[in-house]
Amino acid sequence: MEPTRETEAGLVDLLDRVLEKGLIIHADVVITLAGVPLIGINLKAALANMETMLDYGMFESCTKQEFVTIEKEQKQKEVSVEQEKILVPT
C-alpha cells in the first residue's frame, strides 16, 4: 500500500496538520497564533466565527518567548498494550 497526498483523505490530513499542529511561537512578537480560531474545531464552523475570534491584542500580556503546543485540553483514556500505556484522546 502506497501513502497518498492528493486524495480527499490527504487533504483532510493536510488541513489537520497545518492548521492544528506544527511549531508556533508564543511571544509578544506574535500577532497570530496559528490561526487561533481554527484550532481543534470543524474548519467550516471556525471560518464563520473567525473574524470575531481573532483578537490582535490577545497575546499582549505574553512576554516570554517559548514554545507552546496548540493542543487544547483533551479528554484521554489510558489503554495498555503489553507493557506500554498509551493515552488515547476520546
Partner 1 sequence: MQQEEQQNKEDKEELVKEEVVQDAQEEGRYIYCVVEKGNTSEFQEKGIENNSVYLLCDGDLCAVVHTCPAKPYVSPHKEQVIDWVKAHQKVIDQAYAVFGTVIPFSFDVIIKGSKGKHSEQLVKEWLRSKEEELKKKIERIKGKQEFGVKIFLHEQEVMKAIMQSNKEIQNLEDKIKIAKKGVAYFHKQKIQAIIKKEIEKYAELYFKEFYKKIKQAAEEVRVEKAKKQDTFIMVLNASVLVKKEHVSALGDMLDYIHKKQGFSVEFTGPWPPYSFTS
Element (H, E) at 78: strand 76-81
Smallest gap from Cβ 69 to partner 1, in A, equals 5
Residue with cell 500580556: 61
Whether 39 and 70 have beta carbons less than 8 Å apart is answered as yes
Q: Measured between alpha carbons, how far is 57 from 31 in angstroms, rounded to an integer?
A: 8
> Which residues would be at the binding site for partner 1 (CB under 8 A)?
1-5, 7, 9-11, 13-25, 27-35, 38, 43-44, 47-48, 50-51, 54, 56-57, 60, 65, 67, 69-70, 74, 79, 81-82, 86-90
Smallest gap from Cβ 19 to partner 1, in A, equals 5
